[in-house]
Structure 1
Amino acid sequence: MHRLLLLLLAPTSLLVAPSSLLMATPPAPGAPSYEVSLTGTPDGRTWSGRETVSFTNTAAEALPEVYVRLWGNSRGCGSVEVLGGTALRDCTVVKFSLPKALKPGERTSISFDVKLTAPDREDRFGRSGEFSFFGNALPVLAVRDATGWHLERDMGIGESFYTVAADFAVRLTHTGNIAVPSTGVTTDGVAIAKQVRDFAWAAGPFRSTSVTSPGGVTVRTWATPMVTAAAVDAARADAAAALDEFGRRFGAYPDHELDLVLNDRWTKFSGMEYPGFVLLISPNSPVVHEVAHQWWYGIVGNNEYADPWLDESFATYATDVFEDNHRVGCWPGTLPVAITRDMGYWGAHDSSYGTFVYTYGSCMLHELERLIGTPVMDRLLASYAKANWHGVVTPADFKTAAQAASSVDLAPFWRTHGIG
């Protein structure tokens, strides 16, 4: 996500264990798949229907329950309604007790009715004029790992989300004169998305254009009325170039399509990434940064609450490289706060979040490139992405990959740059 300077202070979050412990066991539930059928009101603001989530118990012990995250309720209850399960805490968590404990390796599913109404705010999940946006709105499975279930709060800045790659089949039916761009590729009325971490969509009378990049990826734009044709053209061209460039650097973009949704009226963010689907402010859209997130979070996943730098620093660094900006001298020296702090800390220190996680994090990666050399850095990032394709990484994973790629002893570098 690329943020504006305007930030909201959010309530204190749950504490989490050090990220170095997060992947001691595979995350569970594993191999999730979502089948969703929703019908929208003619204006596209409210969608209701049925959702079925299938999953495998990838833990070493039986699983008696699962939890579903209703992120859309994080800024006010009632926008996401689920019939079934037991609502917990702040209306962003629903517990589903299984009929019998799911043994390791077994697979089952849960189903529930769901109703989503875009709240009256110009946000990633919200309403802007005639247009509705459903980012982080669809209920998704919470993740359980060695430290337990991750039910951390959305801190109101950046992202606090933690999901594993899943398959989605989503039917969005409506009778209105509206367009409904979404994650995935729509065939016969069903949007199919393979191995993605979330599913987002928008609804409204957008005007649309498309182009195919030289590398073969279709870039579709969906614009609200006040977005100029020049802004659309610029965003589409930047996205197509970035998709091909990052594909060469980090591994080919695995989907056939990327949808850009441009609006001129957002005030709390300038860009927000979802798999194959990006929300952008216009003009001055941070297109390349959000496209970079298709790799750094979308493909190479991380616990965004525990380790926000693992996607934001990498997306910022990738944008710099795309723009041939090597940020010489940008590292300020010893930092008073480590860039590796979690979102609980940054939610309480929101004015420092962008500087440390985005700017200093990317500066650290530029410093690493200068230390080990550009060819080695390029090979490192390509091999790191390949090894963790559609997986979940921790800081220890990146440090291990970097040391394996370089003959330079990196221990002093990590100490100097506060990477524990």
Structure 2
Amino acid sequence: MDTTLTVTAPAADVVIMSGGPRTPRRDGANRVWRARIPAARDVSVAVGPFHVSDTVVDGVALRVGSYTTASRNTLMPIFARAIRELSARFGRYPFASLSIARVPGSQGGGIEYPASIQMQSESVTDAVHETAHQWFYAMVGNSQALHPWLDEAFAEYAERLVDARPEAASWLSYRGDVDRSIESYGTDSYDYFNVTYAKGAAALEAARTAAGRSGWDRVMRCYVAANAWQIAVPADFARAITQFPAAIAILRRAGALR
């Protein structure tokens, strides 16, 4: 949905949100921040005493804010690299901006939103993973309830490619089909992560090797372009890779494709 956000916050605070907020206007003791994102599945808003830095990466307005300047300065080059490397692999970054909010906490990880990410660490792998979701979820959508691997396995796969840390092939023998609904895991979150993330990424890596890396990478970019701003299902991905029967066989054995 074409979305405009207006946030009124205390004048001392900074707002970091989807759509790259413009310079705020003063309203008494507050400031009013506005942002627009033309194609959003959902949005993120973070408000607090952020130390913010702005730059432009290949035409993308990158804003990074953290509660410490050291954390901000660490994250800025990490996200700049993620934008560059993922764009080279999957096609142009899908939005005009990317806003990063490093929120207090030490649990690690992050959470993705269109054109915005909230982080709880300075982890390089987490940053690449969450940035990859701008392609797989924010642009190429999917049912995160029914087919969570179509964004999480793809983001894990992208993270592993960029960081040159292949997922262990042993994950391919882990029990359970990759294409499973979240409900099917019940309360077993470890099983969910092991199957959806690790086994799913391992299956995609094995499929890439079987298909030939350069040809597979070209088809991946075509898959992204063909399914942009829609909701993809596993059959859409299967159609995109029909020229790679060995890769399809690997993904079927992993239970990612039927």
Same fold (TM > 0.5): yes
Paired residue type of 2:165: N
CA distance in 1, matches of 2:193, 2:172: 17
Tell me the residue number matched to 2:79: 239
Tell me the residue number matched to 1:399: 238
Tell me the residue number matched to 1:371: 210
Q: How many residues align?
A: 247
CA distance 1:346–1:266, change in 2 (3 Å): farther
Question: Percent identity, aligned pairs only?
Answer: 28
CA distance in 2, matches of 1:315, 1:410: 19
3-state SS, counterpart of residue 174 of structure 1: strand
Q: Deviations over 1:202-229 (max 9, x none)?
A: 111111112222x1222211112xx451
2:47 counterpart of 1:219: no
- Please, which of 130, 153, 178 is the counterpart of residue 339 of structure 1? 178
Contact 2:207 2:248 in 1 (8 A): no
Q: Deviations over 1:48-105 (max 9, x none)?
A: xxxxxxxxxxxxxxxxxxxxxxxxxxxxxxxxxxxxxxxxxxxxxxxxxxxxxxxxxx
Please give the residue correspondences for 1:290-309 in structure 2 after superposition, counting only pairs within 5 Å: 290-309=130-149
Q: Deviations over 1:176-201 (max 9, x none)?
A: 42111110033474311011211110
CA distance in 1, matches of 2:73, 2:85: 18
Higher strand share: 1
Contact 2:204 2:251 in 1 (8 A): no
Q: Note the C-alpha offset of 1:352.
A: 1.2
Q: Note the C-alpha offset of 1:317.
A: 0.6
2:231 counterpart of 1:388: no
Q: Deviations over 1:133-185 (max 9, x none)?
A: xxxxxxxxxxxxxxxxxxxxxxxxxxxxxxxxx11012112344211111003
- Please, which of 198, 210, 215 is the counterpart of residue 54 of structure 2? 210
3-state SS, counterpart of residue 336 of structure 1: coil
Contact 1:317 1:362 in 2 (8 A): yes
Indicate the structure (1 or 2) with the bigger Cα radius of gyration: 1
Tell me the residue number matched to 1:310: 150
Contact 2:147 2:181 in 1 (8 A): yes
CA distance in 1, matches of 2:166, 2:47: 39
Contact 1:331 1:367 in 2 (8 A): no
- Please, which of 93, 97, 107 is the counterpart of residue 257 of structure 1? 97
2:29 counterpart of 1:177: no
CA distance 1:409–1:333, change in 2 (3 Å): closer
CA distance in 1, matches of 2:116, 2:74: 17
Q: Note the C-alpha offset of 1:333.
A: 4.2
Tell me the residue number matched to 1:356: 195
Please give the residue correspondences for 1:81-96 in structure 2 after superposition, counting only pairs within 5 Å: none
Alpha-carbon RMSD across the aligned residues, in angstroms, is: 1.9
Gaps spanning 5+ residues in structure 1: where? 1-165
Contact 1:334 1:416 in 2 (8 A): no
CA distance in 1, matches of 2:10, 2:78: 34
CA distance 1:321–1:232, change in 2 (3 Å): same
Paired residue type of 2:60: V
Q: Note the C-alpha offset of 1:411.
A: 5.0
CA distance 1:351–1:332, change in 2 (3 Å): closer
Q: Note the C-alpha offset of 1:281.
A: 1.1
3-state SS, counterpart of residue 354 of structure 1: helix
Q: Note the C-alpha offset of 1:264.
A: 3.6
Higher helix share: 2
Paired residue type of 2:166: H
CA distance in 2, matches of 1:228, 1:176: 19
CA distance in 2, matches of 1:174, 1:411: 51
Q: When the two structures are superposed, what TM-score results if normalisation uses the length of structure 2?
A: 0.88
Gaps spanning 5+ residues in structure 2: where? 25-32
Deviates more, 1:331-340 or 1:356-365: 331-340
Q: Note the C-alpha offset of 1:266.
A: 5.1
Tell me the residue number matched to 1:3: none
